[in-house]
């Protein structure tokens, strides 16, 4: 059994050298294939070029780049040398990059382009403030060499040299590696053999929403624990294609790439932009698509947008068949024991209740498939097997929508500190409303505020122990001790409950819990997800810590709101002025009260008493993290004026 990611990659390549591992676009936008054998050769060449620069086992290499073919080549080369990469995407700020590379003491850094180099120079030259108080030495005190994927301008190269940085092109590293490869073609294999399962593979920094980012140290073994069982659980086969759109530096997409390598499958690189994504779906006909919940939500929204623009007859037909599809899926899940059980329930009773509605609805569901659902499913391609959703909670309305269409979504759960997968719905037995069972070799327990283990059906904090749990936070044993016990239990900070069969249901974040002045504990995420089901609400953030009542920041769906205003002849000059109209505020208030109500399962103290409308959607790198999760600390800072007004006495 392989002990490192490069060893695993070499083993798979020996079994299927001519299978395609990558599909990447050329200058004309056409997908071009790379075989496993070719990728191994390129990784070997890159490793030789990097060793020639002096990179050694144990070094930490900065890696600031978005998804591209060269990312995996460089990653495999770095890991094969026994070094560890310190990755981040191109959306990172200059201050984030400075902290990450400086705290990790990186002497070398691979950058996508000169825009990333400019961020480094802006900090080094003092044009931008650094801001962090954690470092005891100047930022970039260790950084000496920059490697660029794309050629820089002459001006920025000169400025880099003036600041003591050597700038090299990735193509030059590869050229050097090719000349060395001619005399030592087995170098990479020999170097990879020296690696051990506990070796550091990467340091992935968290978003740092409440201070400086924390560097999560993940070993080869942390990742390999995922790759050794997940392909069989979700049923991935050699040669099957994954469409890749998530940032590869993040732990979710990164482990997906390693799972693809383990299974002998294929990565096709795309972008999370609607027009590009759908066109690439048709071009490569993927079998699998991994994504965060926001992208699945966007696909659902685009379907509804198209329906709203169709005739009244088509809108009515769509609504009817969606309702039939959801009801059919519910009774099918009950019949097949795919509904979560938080207390023992009779299978005989479930079958008795479900069988007649299921049989009666099946012909109507089949008709809906022919008239409506088939056209939607074709947009995902003819070979589509399933989507995998991770990096956040999948809203129940989105989950039900795709289940009604007959599109399988396997929701997973994990965090960067667990490399990241802890659980995922089983392909052959997906239990709705859960993230599946915890997997082989991993322990889970749900504990109360005193640390006592709770039985199924009781809400508490999720704690886990297993081979995928991180080595710790880099140079922060104090922070490591707060989350990781001496006997290996990791406190996830997530709230959840177990079913009687061991599936996990996520119900919120312990640190997101809002406590009102009356002592009521409220989870904001379920409220925000329910508000997002409104045709007029795109995003919502629930507020109220230490206040008398709840309030919310609401980002309306601009197109839907404008269409409603025009239909109701409400005058406005521009979109921001529309948000000030009393009719709009009455509409949003009505939507809030309709979706967050006692009849929908919410308690009286969970009602939203006040709200503020925001004209611009939340964006990654600002209000949202790379996983599209709300950066609540940042939102509180950005909108403190609006928030203060919401709670003014």
Dist. CA 6–CA 192, nearest whole Å: 6
Check residue 5 and give its pLDDT.
98
Q: Label residue 227 by pLDDT band (50, 70, 90).
A: very high
Bridge-based pairing state of the strands 490-498 and 504-509: antiparallel
Q: Label residue 92 by pLDDT band (50, 70, 90).
A: confident
Domain boundaries, the chain: 5-207+218-291, 514-646
Q: Does pLDDT of 208 surpass 80? A: no
| Mean pLDDT, residues 613-624 taken together | 90
Check residue 210 and give its pLDDT.
45
| Mean pLDDT, residues 451-469 taken together | 95
| Mean pLDDT, residues 458-462 taken together | 94
Check residue 209 and give its pLDDT.
42
Rg (CA), the chain: 26
Bridge-based pairing state of the strands 409-414 and 386-389: parallel
% pLDDT > 70, the chain: 99
Q: Label residue 207 by pLDDT band (50, 70, 90).
A: low
**How many Cβ atoms from other residues are within 10 Å of residue 187's Cβ?**
19
DSSP 3-state assignment of 125? coil
| Mean pLDDT, residues 453-472 taken together | 96
Bridge-based pairing state of the strands 215-219 and 200-205: antiparallel
CB 221 within 8 A of CB 467: yes
Range with the lowest mean pLDDT among 193-197, 327-331, 359-363, 512-516?
512-516
CB 523 within 8 A of CB 512: yes
Check residue 624 and give its pLDDT.
86
pLDDT tens digits, one per residue of 514-536: 878 777 778 888 899 999 999 99
DSSP 3-state assignment of 128? coil
Instruction: Say if 5-207+218-291 and 514-646 have the same CATH topology.
Output: no
Dist. CA 566–CA 569, nearest whole Å: 5
Dist. CA 544–CA 626, nearest whole Å: 25
Q: Per-residue DSSP letters for 33-97? A: EEEHHHHHHHHHHHHHHHHHHT--TT-EEEEE--S-HHHHHHHHHHHHTT-EEEEE-TT--HHHH
List Cβ neighbours of 323 (8 Å cut-off, separation of 6 or more).
Answer: none
Dist. CA 583–CA 536, nearest whole Å: 13
| Mean pLDDT, residues 114-136 taken together | 90
465's torsion region: left (phi>0), alpha (psi -120 to 50) or beta? beta
Q: Does pLDDT of 549 surpass 50? A: yes
Q: Any idea which residue has 């995407």 for tokens?
A: 89
The third-level CATH classification (topology) of the domain covering 5-207+218-291 is: Rossmann fold (3.40.50)
| Mean pLDDT, residues 298-327 taken together | 93
Sign of the Cα torsion 157, 158, 159, 160 reads: positive
Q: Return the closest-CA partner of residue 225 out of 200, 197, 193, 205.
A: 197
3-class SS string, 100-116: HHHHCCCCEEEECCHHH
Top pLDDT among 293 and 16 is at 16
> Distances from the Cα of 554 to the Cαs of 412, 531, 558, 636, in angstroms?
28, 9, 12, 13
Preceding amide of 416 cis, omega within 30: no
DSSP 3-state assignment of 553? strand
Q: Label residue 630 by pLDDT band (50, 70, 90).
A: confident
Helix or strand (DSSP H, E) at 109:
strand 108-111
Which residue(s) pair with 465 in the sheet?
Answer: 443
Helix or strand (DSSP H, E) at 359:
helix 347-368
pLDDT tens digits, one per residue of 363-413: 999 999 999 999 999 999 999 999 999 877 788 899 999 999 999 999 999
> Distances from the Cα of 626 to the Cαs of 62, 290, 525, in angstroms?
18, 15, 18
CA 317 to chain CA centroid, nearest Å: 34
| Mean pLDDT, residues 503-510 taken together | 86
- Classify burial at 221, counting beta carbons within 10 Å of its beta carbon; exposed 0-12, middle 13-18, buried 19 or more: buried
Q: Does pLDDT of 640 surpass 60? A: yes
Tell me the CATH number for domain 514-646. 3.30.300.30
The greatest distance separating any two alpha carbons of the chain, rounded to the nearest whole angstrom, comes to 78
Check residue 625 and give its pLDDT.
79
Q: Label residue 211 by pLDDT band (50, 70, 90).
A: low
Output the average pLDDT for the chain. Answer: 93
Q: Return the closest-CA partner of residue 367 out of 430, 304, 325.
A: 325
């Amino acid at each position: 059994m392989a002990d490192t990611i490069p060893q695993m990659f070499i083993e798979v390549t020996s079994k299927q050298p001519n299978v395609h591992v990558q599909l990447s676009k050329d200058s004309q936008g056409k997908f071009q294939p790379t075989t496993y054998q070719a990728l191994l050769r390129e990784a070997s060449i890159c490793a030789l070029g990097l060793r020639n620069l002096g990179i050694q086992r144990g070094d930490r290499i900065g890696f600031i780049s978005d998804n591209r073919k060269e990312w995996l080549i460089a990653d495999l080369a770095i890991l094969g040398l026994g070094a560890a990469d310190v990755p981040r995407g191109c959306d990172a700020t200059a201050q984030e990059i400075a902290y990450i590379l400086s705290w990790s003491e990186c002497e070398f850094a691979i950058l996508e382009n000169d825009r990333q180099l400019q961020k480094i120079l802006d900090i080094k030259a003092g044009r931008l403030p650094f801001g962090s108080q954690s470092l005891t030495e100047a930022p970039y005190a260790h950084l000496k060499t920059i490697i660029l994927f794309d050629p820089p301008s002459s001006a920025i190269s000169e400025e880099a040299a003036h600041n003591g940085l050597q700038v090299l092109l990735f193509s030059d590293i590869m050229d050097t590696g090719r000349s060395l490869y001619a005399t030592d073609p087995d170098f990479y294999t020999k170097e990879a053999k020296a690696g051990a399962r506990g070796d550091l593979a990467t340091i992935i920094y968290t978003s740092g929403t409440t201070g400086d980012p924390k560097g999560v140290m993940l070993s080869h073994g942390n990742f390999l624990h995922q790759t050794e069982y997940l392909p069989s659980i979700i049923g991935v086969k050699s040669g099957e294609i994954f469409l890749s759109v998530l940032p590869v530096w993040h732990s979710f997409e990164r482990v997906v790439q390693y799972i693809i390598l383990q299974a002998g499958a294929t990565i096709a690189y795309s972008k999370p932009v609607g027009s590009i994504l759908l066109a690439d779906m048709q071009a490569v006909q993927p079998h699998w698509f991994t994504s965060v919940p926001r992208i699945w939500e966007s696909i659902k929204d685009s379907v509804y947008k198209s329906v709203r623009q169709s005739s009244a007859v088509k809108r009515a037909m769509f609504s009817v068949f969606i309702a039939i599809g959801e009801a059919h899926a519910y009774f099918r899940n009950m019949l097949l024991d795919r509904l979560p059980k938080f207390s023992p329930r009779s299978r005989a009773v479930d079958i008795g209740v479900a069988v007649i509605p299921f049989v009666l609805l099946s012909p109507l569901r089949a008709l809906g498939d022919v008239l409506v659902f088939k056209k939607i499913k074709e947009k995902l391609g003819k070979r589509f097997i399933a989507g995998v959703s991770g990096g956040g909670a999948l809203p129940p309305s989105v989950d039900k929508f795709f289940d009604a269409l007959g599109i399988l979504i396997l929701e997973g759960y994990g965090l960067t500190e667990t490399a990241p997968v802890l659980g995922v719905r089983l392909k052959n037995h997906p239990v709705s409303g859960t993230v599946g069972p915890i997997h082989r070799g991993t322990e889970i327990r749900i504990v109360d505020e005193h640390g006592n283990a709770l039985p199924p059906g009781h809400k508490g904090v999720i704690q886990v122990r297993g081979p995928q749990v991180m080595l710790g936070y880099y140079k922060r044993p104090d922070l490591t001790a707060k989350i990781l016990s001496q006997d290996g239990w990791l406190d996830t900070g997530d709230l959840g409950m177990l079913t009687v069969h061991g599936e996990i249901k996520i119900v919120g974040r312990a640190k997101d819990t809002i406590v009102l002045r009356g002592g009521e504990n409220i989870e904001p995420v379920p409220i925000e997800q329910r508000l997002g089901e409104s045709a007029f609400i795109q995003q919502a953030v629930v507020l109220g810590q230490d206040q008398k009542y709840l309030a919310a920041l609401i980002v309306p769906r601009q197109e839907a709101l404008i269409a409603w205003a025009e239909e109701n002849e409400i005058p406005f000059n521009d979109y921001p002025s529309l948000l000030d109209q009393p009719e709009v505020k009455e509409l949003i208030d009505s939507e809030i009260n309709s979706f967050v109500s006692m009849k929908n399962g919410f308690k009286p103290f969970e009602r939203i008493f006040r709200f503020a409308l925001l004209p611009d959607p939340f964006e990654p790198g600002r209000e949202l993290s790379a996983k599209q999760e709300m950066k609540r600390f940042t939102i509180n800072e950005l909108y403190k004026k609006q928030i203060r007004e919401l709670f003014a006495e």
